[in-house]
Amino acid sequence: MKLGMIGLGKMGGNMVLRLLQGGHQVVGHDRSEAALQNIRDHGAQGTSDIDEFIAALGEPGSRAVWVMVPAGQITQSVIDDLAGRLSPGDIIIDGGNSNFKDTQRRAEELAHEGLHFVDVGTSGGIWGLKEGYAMMVGGPEEAVERLRPIFETLAPAADRGWGRMGPSGSGHYVKMVHNGIEYGMMQAYAEGFELMKAHQTFNLDMAQIAELWRHGSVVRSWLLDLTAEALKNSADFEQLSDYVADSGEGRWTIIDSIELGVPTPVITLATQMRFRSQQEVSYAGQMLSAMRRAFGGHAVKTLEVGKQEGLVPEVQAGEHPKAAAPENIPAVAAQAGSSEHSAAEQLGETGQQRVKGDE
C-alpha cells in the first residue's frame, strides 16, 4: 500500500523503515533535510516540498497520510494544511500523542470536508522498528479497514498489538491511559530502588537487583529491562539530571479521572512528582520553611543565593545539592547571645525570645 508520512523523527522515521521492510511504498515529508535523507537512503521518496509530497500520494479519494509530529499546535497546523489539500475520501491519520478531545473535534471538522480521520495511539518508542508498534486505533471502521495492511506491518505481528478501540478519539484516549499507567509504573520502580539505595546497612547493588528481578520475578517488565540496562552504565546514569519532563498524557488522565470521579491516586502522585522534579526551587517548600521558622524558631536551610540571610541548617549542609550551609553561622550565634550553644539551639532561643517579646 502507498502511504504518506509527515514527521520523520524518532517515531515517524523508524515507522517508514518498518513499512519499507514490509513492502509498502512510502512518501515522506519533513522540514529536516537529515530526516529526509535518512528515509531516502532506505529507498523511500522524501521531500520537503508539500505540493510535491501531495502529488506523489496517488489518486484523490484513495490517499492516506500519517501525521507523526509533536502533539498540540504543530499537529493542528499540519492537519489544517492537509485538509486544504486533500479530497473527499482521503484519510488523515494522527499517530502522535494528541489529546483525545482535540481528536474528537478534529474528526468532526474533517468529516464535514468528506475526509476520514483516524487516531492511532502508538506505543513502542525507538524500539518499534525492531519490535513493532502497539497501536490503539480510533475512527470510522471503513477507514480503519482500508489501513489494515499498514497496521499489520507496523504491529509486532499482523494479528497482534493493534486493534480498533471504537469511534474517533478512542485510540488516543486509550493511549492516554496507557501513558498514565506508564507514569505510575515508572514511579513505583524509581521509589523502590531509591529506598533500597538509601538503606545503607546492606550496601545493596541496584544493578544486580534490577537484573535479578528481570528473571522470574512478579515485577519483571520491559520497563525493568530498560532500567537494568541503564543501571549497568553507572557513569552515564550518575550524570543524569533528576528533572523529569511530562508531555501531557499524565495530566489529561488525571483530568479525566476527576471528571468521572474515578480515583487514580498512583497516576496522580506520579505526575505530581514530575512537576516537583521540574522545579528548581519549590515555592511551597520555601513557604513551609518560613512557617516553621516563624512558629517554632526552627533552623532552616538556605539556598546558595540566600546565604546572607544567615540561617542555620538543622542538618549538616551539603547533603542535598539544592541547599547549602550558610557561611555566617557565627553572626547568628552572636545575635543569639551565646557562642557556647550550638547554632541551632541559639536560633531556637532567638525564636522563643521573639515570641515573648511579641506578647
Ligand X SMILES: O=C(CO)[C@H](O)[C@H](O)COP(=O)(O)O
In the complex, what is the shortest distance from the CB of residue 116 to ligand X, in angstroms, rounded to a whole number? Answer: 24
**Taking CB under 6 A as the rule, does residue 211 contact ligand X?**
no
134 or 325, CB closer to ligand NAI? 134
Adjacent-strand bridge partners of 91? 64, 116
- Give, in degrees to the nearest 5, the angle at Cα 176 between 67 and 132: 60
- Of 101, 104, 96, the closest CA to residue 136 belongs to 96
Q: Which listed option, ligand X, ligand NAI, none, makes contact with residue 7 (CB within 5 to 8 Å by class)? A: ligand NAI
For residue 252, the minimal CB distance to ligand X (Å) is 10
In a 13 Å sphere around the CA of 15, the CA atoms on its Cβ side amount to 31
- Kindly tell me which residue out of 16, 36, 56, 71 binds ligand NAI, with binding defined by CB under 6 A: 71
Number of chain positions touching ligand NAI (CB under 6 A): 24
Q: Does 38 bind ligand X (CB under 6 A)?
A: no
* Residue 182 is a binding residue for ligand X (CB under 6 A): yes
**Nearer residue to ligand NAI within complex by CB, 182 or 349:** 182
Per rule CB under 6 A, count of chain residues that contact ligand X? 9
Asked if 43 touches ligand X (CB under 6 A), the answer is no
Q: Which of 109, 113, 131, 182 is catalytic?
A: 182
**Closest to 353 (Cα-Cα) out of 340, 338, 290, 339:** 338
Angle 156-42-89 from CA coordinates, rounded to 5°: 65
Check residue 246 for interaction with ligand X (CB under 6 A): yes
Q: Which does 9 bind (CB under 5 to 8 A by kind): ligand NAI, ligand X, none?
A: ligand NAI
Closer residue to ligand NAI, CB minimum distance, 82 or 312: 82
Among 17, 64, 65, 68, binds ligand NAI (CB under 6 A): 68
142: annotated active-site residue: no
In the list 27, 56, 69, 135, the residue contacting ligand NAI (rule: CB under 6 A) is 69
* CA-angle at 295, arms to 293 and 296, nearest 5°: 70
Give the E-state strand segments of 78-166 in sequence order. 91-94, 116-123, 134-138, 162-166
d(CA 157, CA 295): 64
- Nearest distance from residue 296's CB to ligand NAI, in Å? 47
Pick between residue 45 and residue 123 the one whose CB is nearest to ligand X: 123
Q: What's the min distance (Å) between Cβ of 11 and ligand NAI?
A: 3
- Picked from ligand X, ligand NAI, none, the partner binding residue 18 (CB below 5 to 8 A depending on kind) is none
**Radius of gyration, alpha carbons of the chain:** 28
Residue bearing cell 492516554:
176
Of 71 and 176, which has the nearer Cβ to ligand NAI?
71
Tell the smallest beta-carbon distance from residue 53 to ligand NAI (Å).
9
Q: Which three cell numbers stand for residue 187?
A: 514511579
How many angstroms from the chain centroid is the CA of residue 293? Answer: 37
Contact, 100 vs 170, CB < 8 A?
A: yes
Place of cell 513499512: 19
DSSP 221: -
Does the annotation mark 280 as catalytic? no
Of 125, 192, 263, 296, the residue at the interface with ligand X (CB under 6 A) is 125
Q: Considering the rule CB under 6 A, would residue 30 count as an interface residue with ligand NAI? A: yes
Determine if 329 is a binding residue for ligand NAI (CB under 6 A): no
- One-letter amino acid at 109 equals E
**With binding defined as CB under 6 A, does residue 125 bind ligand NAI?**
yes
E strand or H helix at 5, and its extent?
strand 2-6
Residues 6+ apart with CB under 8 A from 64: 1, 2, 3, 4, 57, 90, 91, 92, 93, 146, 147, 150
| Pairing relationship of beta strands 2-6 and 116-123 according to DSSP bridges | unpaired
Ranges of beta strands (E only) in 83-213 are 91-94, 116-123, 134-138, 162-166
Positions annotated as catalytic residues are 175, 182
Q: Which positions touch ligand X (CB under 6 A)?
A: 97, 123, 125, 179, 182, 245-247, 249
